[in-house]
Amino acid sequence: MSEAWLVIAALAVATIALKAAGPAMVGNREPSPRVLAVTGLLAPALLAGLVVYETLGAADGPGIELDARLGGLAAAVGALVLRLPMLAVVAVAAVATAVLRLLS
Amino acid sequence: MTVTTVQVRARSPIADGVRAGLPLALPNIALGISFGVLAAPVMGAGAAIAMSVVVCSGGAQFAAVSVLAAGGGALPAIAAGMLVNARWVAMGFAVGPYLPGSLRARVLQAQAIVDASFVIASRDDGSFDRGLLIGATLPQVSSWMAGTVVGVLAGPVLGDPDALGLDAIFVAFYLALLWEEVRRRGAYAAALGGGAIALVLLPVAPVGIPVVAAAAAALIGLRRA
């Protein structure tokens, strides 16, 4: 199926370019304090966006899909409150989501 | 070999990064498995594995394959994958100043940018640790590829990965990373802002855009700069 290989080739090149764009343009100069104040907060801002997208995003195109992933999110919060390690947090979320799907 | 070199090696940032990335290996294997299971029937076993090797980006691969599975065609699939990865432009600008060497060396090192490694390499003062970035990516990338192979091979036995709740792994993975991050000064507000932006854009914007736009919430850092 050549369509798949076209997608793979294009995305491989695009991903390299997207990652390289910033470092290729900014050089090695030490950023100003104002820039650092922003870059230091980039991780939490993007992670929160990713949590929202992965929990509520629809499989195809724009939209919000409320499903068992919400239960997985709640279970993950519980595991984090209990200070469980990353692997346990991920496992608890998957099990909770699977059980909810089984019951619905 | 002297004792000194052993100590130096044990303290190398790349080794520290590998250690920091190791706990993420198993979640990445599970994600790789679910990708392999989903992608093999859509694009073929070889293509699914090749994609994890040369694209090596969970979110973009899932987005592109779900477009292909729905019969959306190659160009929309490429666009979806690129938009999901657009957040790496923002990360690249932040990390760029800390990647040494020639243009080619910097571009090469930038390929180590993946979500969790960006977070691990991110220091409280807004700067980034290049060694941690590269080290933390190694176990993640290799486990993502290995998981894909397992998923492709075991797909017929495993059935629907969603029935196993594997799609919730991304949710828990990013949430666990965020949980550590919000202890940082100002991070709580940035996270709330980023989440709100994504939530508002999710119903209206194409896939990927809500996440890139969430980066704008980091601008609240300017208030205290």
Measured over the CA atoms of residue B51, residue B56, residue B59 and residue B60, the dihedral's sign is negative
Query: Does A17 lie at the interface with B, CB-CB under 8 angstroms?
Result: no
Nearest chain A Cα distance for residue B103, angstroms = 6
Are the Cβ atoms of B218 and A39 closer than 8 angstroms?
Answer: yes
A41, closest residue in chain B (CA to CA) = B218
Flag if A38 and B222 touch (Cβ within 8 Å).
Answer: yes
Indicate the domain borders of chain B: 13-185, 187-225
Q: Where are the beta strands (DSSP E) in B10-169?
A: none
pLDDT at B10: 54
User: Does the beta-carbon distance from A46 to B115 stay under 8 Å?
Assistant: yes
What b-and-e string marks burial along A74-104, b requiring 16 or more CB atoms within 10 Å of the CB?
A: ebbbebbeeebebbbbbbbbbebbbebbeee
Hey, what are A93's tokens? 């979320």
Of the given ranges (A35-39, B3-7, B100-104, B131-135), which has the lowest mean pLDDT? Answer: B3-7
pLDDT exceeds cutoff 90 at A30: no
pLDDT per position as a tens digit, A34-66 = 999 999 999 999 999 999 999 999 877 789 999
Residue B4 has pLDDT above 50, yes or no: no
Please indicate if any CB of chain A lies within 8 Å of the CB of B114: no
Chain A residues with beta carbon closer than 8 angstroms to that of B219: 38
Out of A89-103, B98-112, B150-164, least confident range: B150-164
Question: Given pLDDT bands bounded at 50, 70 and 90, which one contains residue A1?
Answer: low
B214 touching A (Cβ < 8 Å)? yes
Q: Which residue of B61, B82, B124 is in closest CB contact with A40?
A: B124
Which of B68, B106, B195 is facing A48, going by the closest CB pair?
B195
Residues of B in contact with A18 (CB under 8 A): 82, 85-86, 88-89, 92
pLDDT given for residue B183 in this prediction: 84
Among B218, B38, B211, residue whose Cα is nearest residue A45:
B218
Instruction: Classify each residue of B69-97 as buried b or exposed e, where b means 16 or more C-beta atoms within 10 Å of its C-beta.
Output: beebebebbbbbbbbbbbbbbbbbbbbbb
Query: How many Cβ atoms from other residues are within 10 Å of residue B113's Cβ?
Result: 30
Q: Which residue has the higher pLDDT, B224 or B143?
A: B143
- Token pair of A75, please? 């279970």
Q: What is the count of residue pairs from A and B with beta carbons less than 8 Å apart?
A: 351
pLDDT single digits (tens) B157-208: 988 888 999 999 999 999 999 999 998 888 999 999 999 999 999 999 998 8
Distance (Å, whole) CA B205 – CA B208 = 8
Measured between CB atoms, which of B95, B188, B211 is closest to A50?
B211
- ipTM for this prediction: 0.94
User: How do residues A70-93 score in pLDDT, each as one tens digit?
Assistant: 999 999 999 999 999 999 999 999
Asked if A35 has any chain B CB less than 8 Å from its own CB, the reply is: yes
